[in-house]
Structure 1
Amino acid sequence: MSAPTATPPVSTGGDTLRGGTLTTASIVFMVIAAAAPLTVIGGALPIGMSIGNGPGYPAMYAVSAVILVLFSVGLTTMAKFIDEPGAFYSYVETAFGRRLGMGTAYLALLTYTAIQFAVYGFLGEQLSILVDPLVHIPWWAFALAVTAVVGFLGYRNIELSSRALGVLLIAEIAIVVLIDVFVVGRGGADGINAEPFLPENIFSGSLGVGLMMAMAGFIGFEATTVFRSEARDPDRTIPRATYIAVAVIGIFYTVSGWAVVEAWGTDSVLEEAVNDPDNMIANTARNYVGQWAGPVVQVLLLTSLFACVLSFHNVLTRYQHAISHKRGLPKALRAVHLTYQSPSMSSIVQTVTIAVLVVVCALAGMDPVTQIFTWFSGLATFTIVILMLLVSVAVIAWFHARPSLQVSAWKRLIAPVLSLLGLGTALYFILTNFTVLVGSTTVAVVMAVSAPAVFILGMIFATFVPEFDDKIITRNMAKQMGDRS
């Protein structure tokens, strides 16, 4: 591995991203924004309570965080021995070869495209509802407009995106923290207590659905490794960013979920979540902070959704850029902008992909929330757990084959095995409750089959399109010329 550089290289164009520019804070901002904290608390939390385990649902965020911290141990430890960015597929390829690695890469593209498109549907609908009293504009028009804005930011420069995410993220976290403080300060509905964490509440309702919904709230945390080539001192920046991101997300979700339960009372919160899930958090803000807080929550929910799609756009463009270097996607996606040193062509392709999906679904008359958001977020939840399971197995296998490496048993075996057990349990609950998640047996089957189908497609592609390392070819040619001379 090459030593990290503290300053970005001179802009020369080509296919190399700007290195040494991202700090821990920048990466954490983008990763937490991808998790969309206010979107989870304002949208997913009420649904998780209503179809999951009711007042015990906030505890599922804590359980998910523990599983993902264990997963992050192996993820960040093995990252030090991988010379290229690419996140999940790089781990599987390093341990098991290019075919399985490319299958994992294609599955990752499906995962992030699905969750990004799901959020676009929800955001388009929310914007349409917002302006509907004045003029009716369909959801797809807003979705296409936001797609263009996100594409512009992604095309220009990741630092521009990082600053935009930072401002939006601070605002949405601040309003939720303010609600938490006021709820605690006023003693909630029935006095402050720890009832949401008692066994009778945790195991009430459907614990499996609750865990499944909670896991979905963490999608995007693993993106820290995608930015490895652009990070300052990646061996320190990436592990720090990963642990901080998981900890902040987990604590934020758990505490805020607990505060919402306290605001309505353990015996009444489920009824409120079922009757008015869309306005539950806004109503909580009005009741405890003041009337002004309700509209603020609704506006920041929109910015949270925007920050989410912007962050996933950045992740996807870098995934595509990295995969193209492995000859898993067209060579054109390797292009880096001469001035901005961003994956410009990859950004354009990702923007067009989302625009096409929006147009197709609009022509098909699909509902942006009950169908696009629900179905595609369900697919992403399913595939992200599969991806993490593959990485956990890859970490265990790779370190097992290299016992001489100076890595502790905790990092190379114990933590990865524990994460494997936790993720396996989560996958079981997802499969057994997949129909509940997407709301249709036919759609559930199609979604479930799409994951292995895409994985196999990646393996087939890797079989018939072998990888050629330009550096190796250059070295061999130089050696041949030297031998002739």
Structure 2
Amino acid sequence: MAVQDSPPVPPNVATTGGKLTGSLGVGSIVFMVVAAAAPLTVISGTVPLGIAAGNGAAFPATYVVCTAILLLFAVGFTSMARHVPGAGAFYTYVERGLGRPVGLGTAFLALLSYTAVQGAVFGYIGAAVNDFVVSHGGPSVPWWVWSVGALAVVGVLGYRHIELSGKVLGILLVCEVGIVIVVDVAVMVQGGDAGMSTAMLSPGEFLSGAPGIAMIFALAGYIGFEATAIFRDEARDPARTIPRATYLSLVLIGGFYTISSWSVVSAWGDEGAITAATDNPEGMVVDTAARYVGAFTGDLVQVLLITSLFAALLSFHNVLSRYIFSLGNTAVLPKQCGRSHPKHSSPHVASVVQVATAGLLIGVSALAGLDPVTEVFAWFAGVSTVGIVALMLMTSVAVLVFFRRSRVDDRLWNTVIAPAAGLVGLAVMLYMTAANLPLLVGGSSTLAAVITVVLVATFLVGVALAVVRPPATVVEVTTQEEKK
């Protein structure tokens, strides 16, 4: 049975190379998604902040709550993926459920959100590499020099076939996860500072301090998990691969964060963890590794932190390139953006465009004299966090509307109960994130207001473009699942 694809595919797609190909399995996609989450970066950077500014020793439980809400979201997300063959993820689903104007608004918001988080990581990796070089007797150079070097390598890998990126990310991910597991096991074997912490099991402890702020820091570690759907055209069997990769990514990310943050708390004791996270957040995990495994692990953690950041950059580059590719194939962006490389079957034009925008962001930040961590990383991460939560919220609404209108799936849990529960949870998350946005950007209410205006304006630009620019001609498309 042939159906009309949404978003529409221009008639010339077949002749312009507008199709990506590949045979990615569950493992390869999970590697790219988990690598984007940057596990070591989260454990080293976000966990201490969540402990210090959030709900203290109970912070690990926040990951359990986030994982539960996102798993509920994933139920409707993956169910709709079976019926919407486009590879645009958020915007494809929102367009099918809520219409083209809202869909394009979502697309532009997604581009801004992922560009922002990638910009944040470029700032962090520039500072991290420079600190490592200086600490080993090397010269100090501007952070952006290292960032541009990382961008060049990312650009080369992103230009080539996706399976090369998958292999690189797999190696880097194994290394960074491996060192954290070694530290986790060492803490558990030695019993921590005063036995393994039980604070995360206490509702009273979880609600103490600032659980809303803790939720924001925890949620930042999941950015990019929905990118499983972005690789639909390059998956071996999309109908099975995408749902499995999505659930597995969430479970692995959530489980890893929960256990590792629990180990960090236990290593110092409930009160000691709060003190250590407050006094030395950037060095807490390095000190933990040195204390329980050996001094040599300090350098190793520093090196793997850099590779963790690079893996995140490569993953976000792949996601952004495919968003741009999808928009090129729907005539929203120039059609050249929707071309795929004849040899690598990669979105090579979109990749080059993405490298250019990332380079521009690095250049503007450098010329403005922004600090790579306290300003570039913190501000851009704040923009991304709010944007991504808003995207998931709109996608949840689109899922409910789509299944109510289409009646293509009568499973109550998959199409109503789980998506509705996820919607409620995401609404609470969005409120918490927006309400605490000033904290995410250094306490500036003015900057928080500017960021909010930019996010809303970006969404409205997409809506306006949909109104003034009619869609391309819709053609009949038969999905892989229907051919079977």
Q: Measure, in 2, the Cα distance between the counterparts of 1:197 and 1:53.
A: 13
417, 427, 433: which is aligned to 2:436?
Answer: 433
Q: Which residue of 2 aligns with 1:418?
A: 421
Q: Measure, in 2, the Cα distance between the counterparts of 1:469 and 1:83.
A: 17
The answer for unaligned runs of 5 or more in structure 2 is: 4-13, 478-484
Q: Measure, in 2, the Cα distance between the counterparts of 1:379 and 1:127.
A: 24
Tell me the CA shift for residue 472 of structure 1: 6.3
Tell me the CA shift for residue 278 of structure 1: 1.0
1:287 aligns with 2:294: no
1:351 aligns with 2:355: yes
Q: Which residue of 1 aligns with 2:94?
A: 92
Letter of the 1:425 partner, please give it.
V
36, 44, 47: which is aligned to 2:46?
Answer: 44
Tell me the CA shift for residue 137 of structure 1: 1.0
The 5 Å alignment of 1:279-318 reads 279-318=283-322
Tell me the CA shift for residue 13 of structure 1: 8.1
The 5 Å alignment of 1:111-122 reads 111-122=113-124
Q: Which residue of 2 aligns with 1:181?
A: 185
Tell me the CA shift for residue 19 of structure 1: 2.7
Tell me the CA shift for residue 15 of structure 1: 2.4
CA deviation vs aligned residue, 1:326-361 (integer Å, no higher than 9, x gap): 121111101211111100010001001111111111
Q: Measure, in 2, the Cα distance between the counterparts of 1:2 and 1:281.
A: 54
8 A contact 1:13–1:341 mirrored in 2: no
The answer for unaligned runs of 5 or more in structure 1 is: 4-11, 474-485
Q: Measure, in 1, the Cα distance between the counterparts of 2:474 and 2:345.
A: 21
Q: Measure, in 1, the Cα distance between the counterparts of 2:471 and 2:75.
A: 30
271, 279, 282: which is aligned to 1:278?
Answer: 282
Task: Give the number of aligned pairs.
Answer: 464
Q: Which residue of 2 aligns with 1:258?
A: 262
8 A contact 1:16–1:336 mirrored in 2: yes
Q: Secondary structure at the match of 1:278?
A: helix
Q: Measure, in 2, the Cα distance between the counterparts of 1:213 and 1:457.
A: 29
Letter of the 2:355 partner, please give it.
T
8 A contact 1:13–1:337 mirrored in 2: no
| Greater Cα offset, 72-81 or 94-103 | 94-103
The 5 Å alignment of 1:59-458 reads 59-132=61-134, 133-403=137-407, 405-439=408-442, 440-458=444-462
Q: Measure, in 2, the Cα distance between the counterparts of 1:429 and 1:236.
A: 34
Tell me the CA shift for residue 233 of structure 1: 1.0
CA deviation vs aligned residue, 1:259-300 (integer Å, no higher than 9, x gap): 000000011101100111111111101111111111111110
8 A contact 2:20–2:340 mirrored in 1: no
Q: CA RMSD in A?
A: 1.6
Q: Secondary structure at the match of 1:217?
A: helix
Runs of 4+ in 1 over 3 A off after TM superposition: 470-473
Q: What percent identity do the matched residue pairs reach? A: 47
Q: Secondary structure at the match of 1:279?
A: helix
Tell me the CA shift for residue 38 of structure 1: 0.3
8 A contact 2:22–2:163 mirrored in 1: no
Q: Which residue of 2 aligns with 1:30?
A: 32
Tell me the CA shift for residue 470 of structure 1: 6.5
Q: TM-score, normalised by structure 2?
A: 0.94
Tell me the CA shift for residue 200 of structure 1: 2.9
8 A contact 2:30–2:248 mirrored in 1: yes
Q: TM-score, normalised by structure 1?
A: 0.93
Q: Measure, in 2, the Cα distance between the counterparts of 1:2 and 1:111.
A: 34
8 A contact 2:2–2:476 mirrored in 1: no
8 A contact 1:125–1:139 mirrored in 2: yes
CA deviation vs aligned residue, 1:413-439 (integer Å, no higher than 9, x gap): 000010011001111111211111111
8 A contact 1:196–1:266 mirrored in 2: no
Q: Measure, in 2, the Cα distance between the counterparts of 1:2 and 1:117.
A: 41
Q: Secondary structure at the match of 2:454?
A: helix
Letter of the 1:174 partner, please give it.
G
Tell me the CA shift for residue 2 of structure 1: 8.1
Q: Measure, in 2, the Cα distance between the counterparts of 1:323 and 1:197.
A: 45
8 A contact 2:114–2:384 mirrored in 1: yes
8 A contact 1:33–1:304 mirrored in 2: yes
Tell me the CA shift for residue 18 of structure 1: 3.6
Relative to 1, partners in 2 of residues 1:401 and 1:471: Cα closer, same or farther, differing over 3 Å? closer
